[in-house]
A = this chain, B = another copy of it.
Amino acid sequence: MMSTAAQPLDRIFGALADPTRRAILARLSGGEATVNELVAPFGLSQPTISKHLKVLEYAGLVSRGRDAQFRPVRLNAAPLADAAQWLGDYRRFWDESLDRLEDYVEELKAREKSHDGQ
């Protein structure tokens, strides 16, 4: 199960490396779902989907609720921000000319965040 010693980014990128798991996240971006609702669209067994959910949970990308015998799954996107930040360090290599604009926006955003704002 991806060695217990794995770093957060290992788990996050590892979770995203599987198309079924990316599809699960895409589905969850439209709202929470039960396990069976997630099983339906794939040609995969329920235990297989449950295993994928465990990988996503281990990466912090989903969390589970409880509603009678249902265990609703919801998206938790926070770790994706870490992944995006890691990628951000390389942005200038694929998008050199727009780098300064990006920096400017990041600065604006940081400023807005520090002022708070709703």
A interface list, Cβ under 8 A from B: 7, 9-10, 13-14, 16-19, 22, 25-26, 29, 75, 77-78, 80-81, 83-84, 86-91, 93-95, 97-98, 101-102, 105, 108-109, 112-113, 117-118
Contacts and interface: CB of A to CB of B under 8 A. Distances in A.
Mostly, the A contact residues are: helix
Contacts of A112: 97-98, 101
Contacts of A108: 101
A83 B87 contact: yes
Contacts of A90: 25, 29, 75, 77, 80
A89 B29 contact: yes
Contacts of A22: 9, 86
